[in-house]
Amino acid sequence: MGKIGNAYKKFSSGLENVLFFMACLIMGGSTVLIFAEVITRYFFQSSRAFMEEYPRLFLPYIIFPLLGVLLKHERHISTDLLPQMLRGRAKSIVKILIYLFVLGGSIMLFWAGVEAVKHFRMMGELSITEFVIPMWVIYLAFPLGFAILILYVLELLVKECISIASTAKQASRGMEEAR
Inform me whether the pLDDT recorded for 123 exceeds 60.
yes
- Residue 175: predicted pLDDT: 58
- Residue 156: predicted pLDDT: 93
Q: Are 54 and 127 in contact (CB under 8 A)?
A: no
Q: How would residue 64 be classed by pLDDT, with cut points 50, 70 and 90?
A: very high
Mean pLDDT score, 123-145 = 91
- Residue 53: predicted pLDDT: 85
- Residue 169: predicted pLDDT: 64
Question: Which residues contact residue 27 at a Cβ distance below 8 angstroms, ignoring those fewer than 6 apart?
Answer: 62
Helix, strand, coil fractions of the chain, as percent rounded to 5: 80, 0, 15
Tell me what the pLDDT averaged over the chain comes to: 87
Domain boundaries, given as residue ranges, for the chain: 3-178
Residue type, 31: T
Inform me whether the pLDDT recorded for 173 exceeds 70.
no
The share of the chain scoring above pLDDT 90, in percent, equals: 49
- What is the spatial distance between Cα 142 and Cα 117, in angstroms, rounded to a whole number? 9
Tell me how far apart the 2 most distant CA atoms of the chain are, in Å.
Answer: 85
Mean pLDDT score, 8-15 = 91
- What is the spatial distance between Cα 103 and Cα 68, in angstroms, rounded to a whole number? 11
pLDDT tens digits along 153-172 = 999 999 998 888 877 666 56
DSSP 8-state class, residue 69? H
- Candidate from 48-62, 70-84, 96-110, 129-143 with smallest mean pLDDT: 70-84
- Candidate from 8-22, 30-44, 165-179 with smallest mean pLDDT: 165-179
Q: How would residue 179 be classed by pLDDT, with cut points 50, 70 and 90?
A: low
Mean pLDDT score, 64-84 = 81
